[in-house]
Structure 1
Amino acid sequence: MQILVDADACPVKEIIVRVAKKYKIPVTMIIDTSHELYDGYSIIITVDKSRDSVDIKLINLLKKEDIVVTQDYGVAAMGLGKGARVLNQNGLIYSDNNIDRLLFERHLGQKVRRAGGRTGSVKKRSKEDNDNFERALIKLIEKREE
């Protein structure tokens, strides 16, 4: 088992590393060339800046039972399809029960934006978001150790 991170805009990288060290789980962070990252623990893979290059690399590295951290519903759906456990930066655990709805909502939002509409703003990250993420990550890790 390893933790794979879509790390370009991931606000919880430090939490991931701290928890992974505690459980002695390897971490692979995937970024594109417009980012720099070094945390002293993770394997850092840098890919080109072409569209979806981070996503494609992550999915190609993914093995069944890995944990994936991503904000991207498409990556989440592919990860679930490969047997991974997947969560977002706020602690939402993606599942077969919620991914279709999330993908549909993303589709509707894209249609609204293409038509010139607005779909709301992103709220500022809170300590509660970080705490929810950490609890969800630990839950996924401990489920695997049973």
Structure 2
Amino acid sequence: MLNSTIMNPLEQIVYVDADACPVKNEIVDICESLNVKMVFVSSYAHTLTLPSTAQIVTVDNEKEAADLYLVNKSKKGDVCVTQDHALASILLSKGVVAISPRGYLFREETISQLLDARYLSQKQRRMGGKTKGPKAFQQTDRVKFTEQLLKILSKKEGS
């Protein structure tokens, strides 16, 4: 039997694909206020400065090292903040709630469309075509993310 003071398998964790995450401060504020454990995962190429309440995991600088860590460590009911559609797709199949830093909640019903659009854009770029990048990150994105994360974590707290 697991010692519950050491490891609680029911404990919800917010994981963050942290290398290019623009809402780190918002995640810290929300998780601290709700007493939710948070784990920021980044490569050696990035230095994170976060409060002691945040766990920082540093992985190799390999292309998918952070993604592999997130897939291997997250469990059903956890939350993961990521901009990566492919990672979100894998996490959804595990029962992890995946949310983008813009507050977009990834869903099983729509993830295939996102992956298809990404594939077509990559294909067009390989053929020499140009595609539009993402819109600039706005304050409204930050607000939407904060509202969405609070909503997700509040549901868990009220369960």
Q: Equivalent of 2:47, from 30, 36, 41?
A: 36
Deviation at 1:123, TM superposition (A): 2.1
Deviation at 1:121, TM superposition (A): 3.1
Deviation at 1:118, TM superposition (A): 1.1
**1:104 paired to 2:128:** no
Unpaired runs of at least 5, structure 1: none
| Aligned residue type for 1:37 | L
Mapped to 1, the partners of 2:48 and 2:100 lie a distance apart of 20
**1:23 paired to 2:45:** no
Q: Secondary structure at the match of 2:154?
A: helix
Name the counterpart of 2:136.
124
Contact 1:30–1:47, Cα closer than 8 Å, also in 2: yes
Mapped to 2, the partners of 1:7 and 1:50 lie a distance apart of 15
| Aligned residue type for 2:116 | F
Deviation at 1:38, TM superposition (A): 2.5
Deviation at 1:17, TM superposition (A): 0.4
Alignment root-mean-square deviation, CA: 0.9
Instruction: Provide the TM-score with structure 2 as the length reference.
Output: 0.89
| Stretches of 4+ aligned residues off by more than 6 angstroms | none
Name the counterpart of 2:62.
50
Mapped to 2, the partners of 1:114 and 1:15 lie a distance apart of 36
Identity level (%): 35
Name the counterpart of 1:7.
18
Contact 1:38–1:44, Cα closer than 8 Å, also in 2: no
Unpaired runs of at least 5, structure 2: 1-11
1:62-77 matched pairs, under 5 angstroms:
62-77=74-89
Q: Equivalent of 1:94, from 91, 97, 106?
A: 106
Contact 1:33–1:48, Cα closer than 8 Å, also in 2: yes
Mapped to 2, the partners of 1:36 and 1:6 lie a distance apart of 13
Q: Secondary structure at the match of 2:57?
A: strand
